[in-house]
Amino acid sequence: MAKQSLFLILISIPFIIGCRKQAAPPLFIFGDSLFDAGNNNYINTSTLDQANFWPYGISYFRHPTGRFSDGRLIPDVIAEHAELPLVPPYLQQRNYQEYLHNYNGVNFASAGAGALSETFQGLVINLKTQLNYYKREIAELSKKIGKAEAARISSTAVYMFSIGSNDYMSPFLLNSTILSSYPHSTYVDMVLGNLSTVVKAIHKKGGRKFIFLNLGELGCFPGLRILNPETDGGCLEEVSELSKLHNNKLKTFLVKMEQQLYGFKYFLYDFKTSLAEKTTQPLKYGIHTHTMYISVLARPSSFFNEACLAGFEEGRMACCGTGRLNAVFSCGGKRLVKEFQVCENPNKYVFWDSYHLTERVYKQMADEMWNASTDRNNSLKELFLCF
């Protein structure tokens, strides 16, 4: 028995050495309003793509920051788990000299952004431009701290993506005919093709560790439900079908990237399933000890323990807005429709506004991601702790 115990300890040593605790690598964030920490505060756009006014931010920051929620977003909570500070928006003024002593990454995400340049064109920072900002950031780091250290940052960093939702929702929100010009499968291929270009460019700069979210059932977001005249608040199925097709192709896309790109590691979070469970069974998803479904890549065996709280009470209606399901995108009264109401307790709601979730949901999702165990040996936690 003693020999067997010694053998188990010895075979474990390489993994312990390879993943020993050390300062977390930088985090680079790309995407849309699920991840935007305030970049759109600094661009010439409309209030449809900004959230720098009350009541955004009321639950955590106590003031608006530009985040489309009542508080923190998924990357904010992931950063906390990794013992990083909040990752700043790229366009926010930064003191580089002070910043470089402890470089933690930067957030390029822009609310309304898509993988396609045509998505809300001229009003957002599209994915291609976000890539250009990343290249500028690395070039600036090379000037300040040298090429070798900038290359080390690129190669050890974790890259986090949430993109695609706006590419599929915008044709319905703008009454665009673009979807009539392409088969749905071709349109999804265009979206993923642009994502592929960006991932390959980051890999060329040394990036190896990536986090992706698949898409929620977009037609079931409150702002899309009210566009369906044939049902009483039912889902807009055509949009949901596009997101389903995207998710299926995304899995294939990531396997292909892993085969093509040397050292490419990824974690795919099943945002769709997690959100669907919370909207269809809101009372079940209080913060308490239970088994959570994590990802198409994860075993449903991760647990997290926190103080017991009641489940959500509302899985379809937005906390902030007006009209049916509170789904008119008027939260804050600075958009086209000025009338809005705010629920008394955002913690009881899954949706904060027409298209975005409450901080409580985002925190649950981030906790699920951090604590996930996977068959691929690419857990999210390992991307931060293993170099």
Q: What is the pLDDT of residue 279?
A: 87
Is 63 marked active-site? no
Q: What is the pLDDT of residue 286?
A: 62
Q: What is the pLDDT of residue 152?
A: 93
**Is the predicted pLDDT of residue 297 greater than 80, yes or no?**
no
**Is the predicted pLDDT of residue 215 greater than 90, yes or no?**
yes
Contact 347, 358 (CB under 8 A): yes
- Closest to 136 in 3D by CA, of 50, 201, 66: 201
- Catalytic site residue from 295, 356, 367, 379: 356
Is 301 marked active-site? no
- Catalytic site residue from 33, 69, 302, 330: 33
Mean per-residue pLDDT, 164-176: 96
pLDDT above 90 covers a percentage of the chain that reads 74
pLDDT-derived band at 386, boundaries 50, 70, 90: confident
Q: What is the pLDDT of residue 295?
A: 29
pLDDT-derived band at 199, boundaries 50, 70, 90: very high
| 173 φ, ψ (degrees, to nearest 5) | -75, -30
- Closest to 379 in 3D by CA, of 77, 1, 19, 14: 19
Q: What is the pLDDT of residue 303?
A: 26
**Is the predicted pLDDT of residue 340 greater than 70, yes or no?**
yes
pTM over 0.85: yes
Q: What is the pLDDT of residue 3?
A: 42
Contact 288, 309 (CB under 8 A): yes
pLDDT-derived band at 169, boundaries 50, 70, 90: very high
DSSP H or E segment with residue 317: strand 314-318
pLDDT-derived band at 325, boundaries 50, 70, 90: very high
Mean per-residue pLDDT, 238-256: 97
Is 36 marked active-site? no
- Catalytic site residue from 32, 70, 76, 353: 353
pLDDT-derived band at 282, boundaries 50, 70, 90: confident
Of the candidate ranges 13-22, 88-97, 104-113, the one whose mean pLDDT is the lowest: 13-22
- The two tokens of residue 353 are 């506004």
Cβ-based neighbour number of residue 300 at 10 Å: 11
Could you tell me if residue 81 is left (phi over 0), alpha (psi between -120 and 50 degrees) or otherwise beta? alpha
Please indicate whether residue 200 or residue 312 has the higher confidence score (pLDDT).
200
Cβ-based neighbour number of residue 283 at 10 Å: 10
pLDDT-derived band at 260, boundaries 50, 70, 90: very high
**Is the predicted pLDDT of residue 7 greater than 50, yes or no?**
no
Work out the mean pLDDT of the chain and round it to a whole number: 86
Mean per-residue pLDDT, 132-154: 94
Mean per-residue pLDDT, 111-133: 97
Dihedral sign from CA coordinates of 325, 329, 334, 335? negative
Q: What is the pLDDT of residue 23?
A: 81
pLDDT-derived band at 13, boundaries 50, 70, 90: very low
